[in-house]
Structure 1
């Protein structure tokens, strides 16, 4: 007899990552970009993305440490690409606005003297 789904999930390794963004707009862009690719079924890992105002929460469960590591590493590489792209467009938009005599753009580039918000928080649960 197969174990209930809730028992199966409790036996899996779990990991979550909170990624703060300067605005809801940027958080939504990241969610749409990162959520476009589904985890392959054969990977043994499941990914769930949630948005809470300006914080993107990514969580995974996997049947092995290797599968969890591969899934999280893949996500972080994709997140890095999304952030670099957002910064590039934010910087170009600010430079374009300055050339037209328009006020600067507040975004991931850290305009107005603010450093970019790079505070990530993580949570790891390991089965005993």
Structure 2
């Protein structure tokens, strides 16, 4: 693989980072021969490393991934523990 990118995404807690990892890793890459993705957790940070064949493919893959992360973050905000606390007060 020619192009390597690592992204670090901080979450409010390690639990939220772990939830995001579990949700996102269910979806496999559409081109496994051209894209490799590794996810890990470091404290409250989701660390993602992409290995792709081209810069263009790297850009497309990272953009799609960040859209998924955005959805997870908005879902956690709407339905997570903090949302439960807001609705009971």
TM-score tier, shorter chain, comes to 0.7 to 0.9
Asked if structure 2 preserves the Cα contact closer than 8 Å seen for 1:43 and 1:67, the reply is: no
Among 65, 68, 88, the residue aligned to 1:78: 68
1:36 is matched with 26
* Bigger share in helix: 2
Structure 1 spans left out of the alignment, 5+ residues: 1-8, 99-128
Q: When the two structures are aligned, how many residues end up with a matched partner?
A: 88
Question: Which ranges of 4 or more aligned residues in structure 1 deviate by more than 3 Å?
Answer: none
Q: Which has the larger radius of gyration?
A: 1
**What TM-score do the two structures reach when normalised by structure 1?**
0.63
Q: 1:69 to 1:43 in 2, by over 3 A?
A: farther
Over residues 55-83 of structure 1, what are the superposed CA-to-partner deviations in whole Å (9 max), with x where a residue is unaligned? 11011011111111111011000000000
* Bigger share in strand: 2
Q: What SS does structure 2 have at the residue aligned with 1:41?
A: coil
Structure 2 spans left out of the alignment, 5+ residues: none
2:14 is matched with 24
